[in-house]
Amino acid sequence: MRGNFSTITKMFSAGVVAAGLSMSAPAKAAEGTIKVGILHSLSGTMAISETTLKDVMLMLIDEQNAKGGLLGKKLEAVVVDPASNWPLFAEKARELISKDKVAAVFGCWTSVSRKSVLPVFSELDNILFYPVQYEGEESERNVFYTGAAPNQQAIPAVDYLMSADGGSVKRWVLEGTDYVYPRTTNKILEAYLKSKGVPAEDIMVNYTPFGFSDWQTEVSAIKKFGSAGKKTAVVSTVNGDANVPFYKELGNQGIKAEDIPVMAFSVGEEELAGLDTGPLVGHLAAWNYFESVDTPENKKFIDDWHKFIKNDKRTTNDPMEAHYIGFNMWVKAVEKAGTTDPDKVIDAMVGVSVPNLTGGYSTMMPNHHITKPVLIGEIQADGQFETVSQTPGLVMGDEWSNYLPDSKNLISDWRAPLSCGNFNVATGKCGGKGTN
Amino acid sequence: MILLRVIGMMLLLTMASLLPSSAAESDLRATIAKFATATNFSATEAVVRELAASGDPAVEKPLAALAGGNLYIRKADSQIFVGKESGDGIQLLDPLSGDKAAAAAKADLSKIKVNNGLRRTIRDVLGTLTLRAKDPAVRLAAAATMFKAPDAANIEPLDAAIAGETVPSVKALFDQARAASILVSDKPEADKLDAISAIAARGDRDALSLLTLTEAASQGAVKDAAAAAIGHINSTLALWDAGQNIWYGISLGSVLLLAAIGLAITFGVMGVINMAHGEMVMLGAYTTFVVQQVIRTSFPGLFDWSLVIALPLAFLVSALVGLAIERGVIRFLYGRPLETLLATWGISLILQQAVRTIFGPTNQEVGNPSWMSGSFDIGQLAITWNRLWILVFALLVLAVLLYVMKWTRWGLQMRAVTANRRMAASMGIRTPWVDALTFALGSGIAGIAGVALSQIDNVSPNLGRGYIIDSFMVVVFGGVGNLWGTLVGAFSLGIVNKFLEPYAGAVLGKIVVLVLIILFIQKRPRGLFALKGRAVEA
């Protein structure tokens, strides 16, 4: 009797659970869902930048579901936390693909985290959307680079500074954090500046460690370098946390943008949110998107973001736009392929074109990089950027820099029949090696 | 009576019509209206130059507004206004008279864009226009901009200004600006040689920059004189550079001292390897942020006092958290350094993530009070106020701590427990409570260090991470258990670091310092000033 009773209870409770499940998500039970992996650090040093990207992905997935999902199925976000730990990125990527069976992964910020997951994505044949500006010298079949390559950020920024509008700069300080992105970018910039006739003594390169906070010596060295009677500018690839003390020291030592402007590649609206920007007005940044861009698409995006995050003060930034573009491209490619099978989606991605937030269209190119406009903005007292220059058309991402001797002969084209990420046009063979 | 009034009215009317400004003003207005049709920066610059050419001091207002990004075009009628943010909208002011016009919504206005080049142009032309301003500070600024942007056309207005100038310091700067302008003019050689010696007397980087340009552009005696002056300035600047490195080293040392001083108590005196020390600093910085938020919203007048108000609160918050950690975890782990290390490491992660959850992962803005912003010069040495205050503050904290340790009953008990726990207990000292309070004191001091560090660093959950290694380095190097050792350790590390940095770079400099410390510890394992205590005996 007792045994019987407990069996009945078990059956009963199982029934309740089943009923509960089917009631809460009838669509799921009926047709299944498409899982999308989100691989951004939610703790540790990189959480400061990456948490926002996780949130924007959740928002985009929500919006897509509100529009009726994809291929008649709902999208489901699978969020994991690689905790700013590079090897853990690879582990979590493997978990997302093998265990959760996600259709695509949106994630990574630092180049080292991307390098750490690359083997996982090619081994398990899945898709990674990488939303951050980076140093180039890479093109993988399984990765789509929606952030800027050096020619979509660094080179136009330097061009602007060299122009009359930018102040006809003659002397250059390349200031960076000591890791792969600044080192490669500075190598490209040095080669580029020299090709433009800048003598070696007019270029100063300096690196500081991650999270550097005592900038006195560096800023006074910049001041010293700038008093040689030639217009001087700083090109900064200083990363993340080190920026706030850097800018505070610039302000305190009275370096004005009118005298020595600082052009930054890693400082966006989010970084400025922790700063009093009054003394920094006029310092520059080069991106493919600014929150201040005045287009209807951007206005809607910002409104949606504020509603989603329930905070009117949260800023938007360039990597968020990159995820917006990347996600919409993936949706379009899946619709085009009629399946979420990564192999087919990868082939369908090339040529997909979606609206970006700056009033144009971005297209996925055969080298898995996208076309973008390049904007140069000046910091304003309210912590926003004001666009002071914009490339007339879209710039296509160039993965292998033409200014580095190792990579200038390399091209990438993932379409059949070439299907190669590092084709050497000089030797006619696939498998060249770039710098780093 | 009536007659008088009529006469008065008539007088007023005639005076008004006699005022010469009205014609010039309408001209100015016509020029200002051109801003509305200027579509790019060079067109805007042309309008700025046209306004400046009028020589009328009245154009200062619209030009300054333009440089500050406060000049707007009303979309409805293309009128130009100076705008001031007020609430949701913008209060419009007449660009010349400053009279109030209607307020407008942001959407109805378009801001006239400026860039660095335009700001520079405005700064230069305003320099010429404000040479005769009433306020000596404005005249000083005008002279400074004219010195930096020398132009042969400036000589005449400068001559006139020098003749009328009464303030000696302003006059001296006028003379220098005039000398700079002479160097770029086609004046005879003798004048230029005089000018070079006048500029060389300044001895600073601006003078160097100007002389370098002159040397490159001229020949003969002028070139030689410039070269000689450059050589002279360079040799004096080299001396100043050494002085500057010492100052930077002292300043870095004071930051290290602040960060390490709490650890000198918890690790140095008590022997607890406290990996959550950095997070106590972080909590102090976040307390400052919260205090500033409250002040910003409720008592804006008190902003300059925010740090002073935050100090006791930060001490309290960190001390309470420290007390909780000691009572809750560490007291069970005394004498087991490995477990303590792991447990406090875990606590540090918990605290970081807690702050991240409550305040968000992004940086929080902590403002500088006005007395901590900017810098002042001693000779060729630029000293920033915030660094100076941090140095003063660090020494003050150390002094107070030394006093507490040496002269108070509590300090005596603390030292007694450190020297011989069992004997102290036999004498009736409640050693567990002394432990708890000592740990709370160390944590609280880390908290007030956070208040100071919020002025120069990010206020983010990662704040503490950056200081933990340096703090341990300072305490170990200086000698565990000795506050004076911490002081000497912090300053010597700071100065060595800053002397290496210009030659070796920041990355290599840090490595060299680490290697030096490792070698030093091999030779003297107990640091600079070894002290007998529990930590050493354990």
Mutate to test the interface with B, among A227, A246, A250 (most CBs of B within 10 A): A227
- Distances in Å between the alpha carbon of A27 and those of A34, A64, A72, A77, B22? 12, 15, 10, 16, 77
Mutate to test the interface with B, among A84, A246, A252 (most CBs of B within 10 A): A252
Within an 8 Å CB–CB cutoff, is residue B84 touching chain A?
no
Contact pairs from chain A to chain B, CB under 8 Å:
153
Within an 8 Å CB–CB cutoff, is residue B252 touching chain A?
yes
B116 and A261 within 8 Å at the Cβ level: the answer is yes
- pLDDT of amino acid A350: 94
Residues of chain A with pLDDT under 70: 1-31, 434-436
Nearest to A209 among B69, B364, B510 (CB): B510
Within an 8 Å CB–CB cutoff, is residue A168 touching chain B?
no
Distance CA B47, CA B32 (A): 7
Distance from CA of B171 to the nearest CA of A (A): 24
Residues of B in Cβ contact (< 8 Å) with A174: none
Residues of A in Cβ contact (< 8 Å) with B382: 220, 253-254
Residues of B in Cβ contact (< 8 Å) with A211: 462, 465-466
Local structure of residue B364 (DSSP, 8 states) = B
- B:110-169 residues touching chain A, CB 8 A cutoff: 113, 115-117, 119-120, 123, 148
Tokens found for residue B68: 């500050």
Decide if B101 contacts B133 (C-beta within 8 A).
no
A151-287 maps to which CATH number?
3.40.50.2300
- A:69-128 residues touching chain B, CB 8 A cutoff: none
A213 and B456 within 8 Å at the Cβ level: the answer is yes
Give the chain A residue whose CA is nearest to the CA of B363: A274
Residues of B in Cβ contact (< 8 Å) with A163: none
B456 and A165 within 8 Å at the Cβ level: the answer is no
The separation between CA A55 and the C-alpha centre of its own chain, rounded to angstroms, equals 15
Tokens found for residue A112: 């080292």
Nearest to B252 among A48, A214, A281 (CB): A214
Q: Coil, helix or strand for B100?
A: strand
> Would you write out chain B's pLDDT as a tens digit for each of its 538 residues?
565 566 655 555 555 444 445 557 788 888 888 888 888 888 888 888 888 888 777 888 888 888 888 888 888 888 888 888 777 778 888 888 888 888 888 788 888 888 888 888 888 888 777 877 788 888 888 888 888 888 888 888 888 888 888 888 888 888 888 888 888 888 888 888 888 888 888 888 888 888 888 888 888 888 888 889 989 988 988 888 888 899 999 999 999 999 999 999 888 888 889 999 999 999 999 999 999 999 989 888 888 899 999 999 999 999 999 999 999 999 999 888 899 999 999 999 999 999 999 998 888 888 888 888 878 888 778 888 989 999 999 999 999 999 998 999 999 998 888 888 888 899 999 989 999 999 999 999 999 999 999 988 888 888 888 889 889 999 999 887 788 999 999 999 999 999 898 888 888 988 999 999 999 989 888 888 876 544 444 4
Outline where B39-154 has alpha helix (H).
Answer: 41-53, 60-67, 116-129, 136-148
Distance from CA of B477 to the nearest CA of A (A): 20
A206 and B505 within 8 Å at the Cβ level: the answer is yes
Give the chain A residue whose CA is nearest to the CA of B124: A258
Residues of A in Cβ contact (< 8 Å) with B505: 206-207
Nearest to B209 among A45, A229, A274 (CB): A229
Within an 8 Å CB–CB cutoff, is residue B510 touching chain A?
yes
**Beta bridge pairs of residue B364:** B459
- Distances in Å between the alpha carbon of B147 and those of A155, A168, A219, B197? 34, 20, 23, 15
**Ramachandran sector of residue B40 (left: φ over 0; alpha: ψ -120 to 50; beta: rest):** beta
Per residue, the 3-state secondary structure of chain A, as one string, reads CHHHHHHHHHHHHHHHHHHHHHHHCHHHHHHCEEEEEEECCCCCCCHHHHHHHHHHHHHHHHHHHHCCCECCEEEEEEEECCCCCHHHHHHHHHHHHHHCCCCEEEECCCHHHHHHHHHHHHHHCCCEEECCCCCCCCCCCCEEECCCCHHHCHHHHHHHHHCCCCCCCCEEEEEEECCHHHHHHHHHHHHHHHHCCCCHHHEEEEEECCCCCCCHHHHHHHHHHCCCCCCEEEEEECCHHHHHHHHHHHHHCCCCCCCCCEEECCCCHHHHCCCCCHHHCCCEEEECCCCCCCCHHHHHHHHHHHHHHCCCCCCCCHHHHHHHHHHHHHHHHHHHHCCCCHHHHHHHHCCCEEECCCCCEEEECCCCEEEECCEEEEECCCCCEEEEEECCCCEECCCCCCCCCCCCCEEEECCCCCCEEEEECCCCEECCCCCC
Give the residue carrying structure tokens 């669509």: A27
For chain B, the domains span 22-118, 130-218, 241-537
Q: In what helix (H) or strand (E) does residue B86 lie, and over which residues does it extend? A: strand B79-86
Give the chain B residue whose CA is nearest to the CA of A211: B466
Distance from CA of B123 to the nearest CA of A (A): 9
For chain A, the domains span 151-287
Give the chain A residue whose CA is nearest to the CA of B248: A216
Mutate to test the interface with B, among A214, A218, A231, A290 (most CBs of B within 10 A): A214
Nearest to B208 among A227, A257, A259 (CB): A227
Within an 8 Å CB–CB cutoff, is residue A252 touching chain B?
yes
- pLDDT of amino acid A82: 95
Distance from CA of B454 to the nearest CA of A (A): 10
Q: Coil, helix or strand for B368?
A: coil
Phi and psi, residue B394, nearest 5°: -60, -45
Mutate to test the interface with A, among B362, B387, B513 (most CBs of A within 10 A): B362
A274 and B460 within 8 Å at the Cβ level: the answer is yes
- pLDDT of amino acid B1: 54
Within an 8 Å CB–CB cutoff, is residue A386 touching chain B?
yes
Distance CA B116, CA A281 (A): 9
- A:261-300 residues touching chain B, CB 8 A cutoff: 261, 270-271, 273-276, 279, 281-282, 284
Residues of B in Cβ contact (< 8 Å) with A251: 373
Distance CA B281, CA B458 (A): 12
Tokens found for residue A395: 């710039």
Q: What does the buried/exposed string (b/e) look like for A259-291 if buried means 16 or more CB atoms within 10 Å of the residue's CB?
A: bbbbbbbbbbbbbbbbbbbebbbbbbbbbbbbb
Give the residue carrying structure tokens 């909590």: B283
Within an 8 Å CB–CB cutoff, is residue B78 touching chain A?
no
**Listed residue (B24, B449, B121, B468) closest to B277, CA to CA:** B468
- pTM score: 0.83
Residues of B in Cβ contact (< 8 Å) with A186: none
